[in-house]
Amino acid sequence: MSDCIFCKIIAGEIPSAKVYEDDRCLAFKDLDPKAPIHILVVPKAHIQSVDAVTPENSGEAAHILEVIPGIMKELGVKTGYRVVTNIGPDAGQTVPHLHFHVLAGQEMGWTPA
Ligand code: AMP
Ligand code: ZN
């Protein structure tokens, strides 16, 4: 997707503070962190959101869930973290490329709505 900001980050056309990369996904620091550790993990394939996950592409989402624990361990997170993904306007999704927010480094409240 040529006008997708996360596709541009994946292509290296926009800089990012990378924390992990493999052939299927990229993790980088959120520009506007909501916790001491706030990273975004995105599939390299352009998938709009969880709403666009299908039997054909669900492996990309599953792979991200597989790598998140190792990324948290690498960042020294020992006391828990939160994984969030927003889908569509009511949830406040601003970038239409599937991304998992991973938040850590503080005790968190729970006021998701
Ligand atoms: P959402 O609102 O769930 O779609 O999340 C999009 C996230 O992307 C927000 O938390 C933004 O701060 C973050 N973001 C937008 N542009 C960039 C960028 N160039 N580098 C890092 N994070 C970004
Ligand atoms: Zn994209």
Summarised one tens digit per residue, pLDDT across range 78-103 is: 999 999 999 999 999 999 999 999 99
Whether 99 is catalytic is yes
Single pTM value for the model: 0.97
At residue 1, does pLDDT exceed 80? no
Q: Tell me the average pLDDT of the chain.
A: 97
**Residues with Cβ–ion distance below 5 A, ligand 2:** 1, 4, 6-7, 46, 97
**Distance separating alpha carbons of residues 97 and 73, to the nearest angstrom:** 25
**Distance separating alpha carbons of residues 105 and 107, to the nearest angstrom:** 7
Percent of the chain with pLDDT over 90: 96
For 12, 16, 22, 111, the CA distances from 105, given in Å and listed in that order, are 28, 21, 24, 18
For 6, 11, 33, 74, 85, the CA distances from 112, given in Å and listed in that order, are 24, 32, 16, 27, 11
In short, whether 95's Cβ falls inside 6 Å of ligand 1 is yes
103 alpha carbon – ligand 1 mean position (Å): 13
In short, whether 30's Cβ falls inside 6 Å of ligand 1 is yes
